[in-house]
Structure 1
Amino acid sequence: MLRNRYSIGIILIAIAVVLLLGKVGVFSFLGWLLWPLLVLAAGGLLHWLYFGKMLPAAVVIPGGMLITYAVMFFLCNLFGWHLMKYIWPGFIFGVAVGLYEYQMFERFVPRGVMTASIVLAVVSAALFGMMLLVTLGVYFIVIGLLVVGIVLITRRSKTW
């Protein structure tokens, strides 16, 4: 009887703590911050189903895409969604990752899958580079001008 009272008391305290944390907003904060785990879990589940020999290799295409997108969503949750204007080429890169995984794990791959994967990865990298150049290009110009100016000032002229 004494043991039952302790067990019931511990259960009631645990329920009260969970309700209090929910009322304070801890669970909504964790849900807001960690929702990309659902996307990551879906991609991981597709990979697990393939490696468990339950589904064909074609499921790694959306699996790779979902895992790539989950990483992007985590970054945006942590650093702000304004980051999406810089990392949007990651959506193209996710398709490249999925196709690359399909090419790696499927025995009889249709022609052009590896080529499509490489082309999409290169396009994604080029677009990402252009985004960096457009947003950070002024800083590159400033750094270049500073370096040239410092070299001109510190270089000794032979004509003096």
Structure 2
Amino acid sequence: MSRNNYSIGMILIAVAVVLLLGKLGVFHFLGFLLWPLLILVPGLLLHFLFFNRVLPAGVLVPGGMLITYSLMFFFCNLFGWHAMGYIWPGFIFGVAVGLYEFYIFNRDSDRNIRTVSIVLAVLAAALFLMMILFKVGIYLIALLLVLAGILIIMRKPRVW
């Protein structure tokens, strides 16, 4: 058997496997689940180019934003897009991450950049806590009422 026949046979088998996997929906599932990689890879690439001294520190702002957003999209792909109702403050947090990275790794950065990034991070955290409180607040109130009732029942009564 010649090498040429062996190579052609392996190529035909590989094409058949790819076609079968495509027909079974494997590529559709992977594309549906892993599309945030299209956002994560450029963010990682910007960081890689900065740390190899190819690009200036300014690329860390969009790089940090892209990585943060891709992590949010992965989370939504895994747990459902209704979760975006809770984690939307992450878009503000992404800007804070990018600005903070710029402040840390740029020697000539102004302290105001750090202040803005911290304010944005605190704002994002406050909005996230507000969203959690609005979404599950009734359950928290119910839990506190049950705990208060148990404490009242368990408390030893004083002599009347």
Instruction: Give the Cα–Cα distance (whole angstroms) in 2 for the partners of residues 62 and 95 of structure 1.
Output: 8
Output the CA distance in 2 between the equivalents of 1:73 and 1:122: 21
> Which residue is 2:85 aligned to?
85
| TM-fit CA distance, 1:158 | 2.1
Give the equivalent residue in structure 2 for 1:29.
29
The answer to whether 1:95 aligns with 2:95 is: yes
TM (norm. structure 1) is: 0.96
Q: Distance in 1 between matches of 2:115 and 2:54?
A: 28
Partner-residue secondary structure (3-state), 2:116: helix
CA deviation string 1:107-154 (max 9, x = no partner): 000341000000000000000000011011111111111111011111
Distance 2:118 2:10 in 1: 57
Partner amino acid, structure 1, of 2:79:
F
Normalised by the length of structure 2, the TM-score is: 0.96
Trace 1:1-160 onto structure 2 (pairs within 5 A). Answer: 1-160=1-160
- Quote the offset at 1:10 in angstroms: 1.9
Please report how far the alpha carbon of residue 12 of structure 1 lies from its aligned counterpart in structure 2 after TM superposition.
0.8
Q: Which structure 1 residue ranges, 4+ long, deviate > 4 Å from structure 2?
A: none
* Matched pairs, number: 160
Give the aligned residue type for 2:50.
Y
1:3 and 1:44 mapped to 2: Cα distance?
41
C-alpha distance in structure 2 between counterparts of 1:48 and 1:2, whole Å:
45
**CA-atom RMSD, angstroms?**
1.1
Cα distance between partner residues in 2 of 1:57 and 1:40: 18
Q: Deviations over 1:64-101 (max 9, x none)?
A: 00000000000111111111011000000000000000
Q: What's the offset of the Cα at 1:9? A: 1.5
Q: Secondary structure of the equivalent of 2:107?
A: coil
Tell me the distance in 1 between the aligned counterparts of 2:103 and 2:43. 17
Extract unaligned runs of 5+ from structure 2: none
Note the residue ranges of structure 1 that are not aligned, 5 or more in a row.
Answer: none
